[in-house]
A and B are shown apart, each in its own frame.
Chain A
């Protein structure tokens, strides 16, 4: 069943651009330390340090060939109750949208999973990395959450946390009361405001009023400045009739 992957999060982290003395946007460039010469993309290679300053060069082609046979397939191995996976595993979300000709299979899987309350566990390789994912079905749409592998998580003893001590009933009760008085039935994401971006934008607006704080540079014709609306792209992809 061919599907396309789209990130399930927008990048909201407002990043600042590095500018030169005249406001010219700058570019990051690799250079050789010894000669000081700038290096283009085809003049650098990828090396794994096996010993101090001793590297094994690994090419793109080798990495591609090392990927398991069914490299781009999302191989569904198991279905588990959707709420049984601890949140410690979740990393990033991707919406899956049906590719041309697979709408029917997509809808069938989505409906079956949603009705039974199950999530599918799968593995696949994408851009030189193997992913373990849990696929959830919500409102007829499939979403993959990439997960950490078990050996990427530390245990309490890895960290050296103390053994559990018996807590006094009175203290437990005190905390239970504190929890009860602050309990809400639903989670409201509006509690998760991005204060960082908010205060940055406020300051930018204030400074913008003074022209001395604003620099303008000629844009190169080929720079792509279109703001990508992920939701629009997703909607189009979900509704594509081909």
Chain B
């Protein structure tokens, strides 16, 4: 079944506009639980209370405040908050382009598919152009009363728009100091290199399954039928030993695996 677009907009590149529809590229598979009242086993509700008196405060009496220092709040009225809303726009403004490898993993937040809205020719021409140039666009837009910054990319014939984190949100390695301690020896480096190379391969995401999620769902299904399996307590993990003996052991066990496979 086709997914529903969550927003409609237009990519703005100089004077050219390409109409697009935005779809979430992520399908949430987290096992969702409800909070239940332990006695009634019924769903609970939430409300706001005054923690001193324990009394409920009705919605119409609640004010919103920004804490400027401990215990001091500037009250923001509904009018204030409305004023803060960005002006509505359908434009996804592409401000510049950078080579595809220049944005570090840390910036990417959420991926969205962009699909053509009406005209498909410009859409697929832009896909080709981005791929030929191995470029990624930096975009700004307003969606549902919020400002967003993002990256426009072409992947496998389609356009993606990623939201990116704000400039002061990301902590870069440059801001930190290297860990202290003695440098590894040449022998250790050689062994580590060997170990890493033995485990080297291509990234194949389908190889990894959320086993824990599967176990939880299986357990829930069994419990729903009335026969929950007994679960063993978690074992404590063994102590780590000296680094070079651990490295040697890892290399040894990998060699054995390879031999068996050969």
Contacts and interface: CB of A to CB of B under 8 A. Distances in A.
A19 B63 contact: yes
A30 B86 CA distance: 34
Interface string B135-160: 10110000000110101010111101
Contact of B33 (A48, A103, A197): A48
B259 interface: no
B253 interface: no
B125 interface: yes
A18 interface: yes
B96 A49 contact: no
A66 B49 contact: no
A48 B34 CA distance: 6
A112 B169 contact: no
B257 interface: no
Interface in B105-160: 105-108, 111, 113, 115-116, 120-122, 124-130, 132-133, 135, 137-138, 146-147, 149, 151, 153, 155-158, 160
B105 A121 contact: no
Interface string A153-172: 11010111110111110011
Contacts of A171: 121-122, 125
Nearest to B95: A191
Contact of A195 (B23, B32, B86, B180): B86
A238 B164 CA distance: 27
A17 B166 CA distance: 22
Contacts of A68: 211-212, 215
Contacts of A150: 205-206, 208
A228 interface: no
B73 A88 contact: no
B3 A158 contact: yes
A222 to B, nearest CB: 12
B113 A34 contact: no
Interface size class of A (residues with CB under 8 A): 35 or more
B175 interface: yes
A42 to B, nearest CB: 8
B40 A34 contact: yes
B149 A184 contact: no
A208 B133 contact: no
A87 B127 CA distance: 17
Nearest to B33: A46
Q: Which of B2, B80, B165, B206 has the most CB of A within 10 A?
A: B165
Interface string A58-93: 100011111111111100111111011111111001
Given A149-B205, A172-B128, A159 B75 contact: no
Nearest to B243: A105
Nearest to B182: A104
Interface string A180-194: 101111110111111
A41 to B, nearest CB: 10
Interface in B1-17: 1-3, 13-14, 16
A134 B243 contact: no
A138 B178 CA distance: 10
A182 B94 contact: yes
A194 B33 contact: no
A230 B107 contact: no
Given A175-B130, A179-B130, 20 more contacts: A31-B44, A32-B45, A38-B54, A47-B34, A47-B41, A58-B220, A78-B203, A89-B205, A106-B179, A106-B181, A175-B128, A192-B149, A203-B83, A208-B74, A214-B73, A214-B74, A215-B72, A216-B72, A235-B176, A239-B179
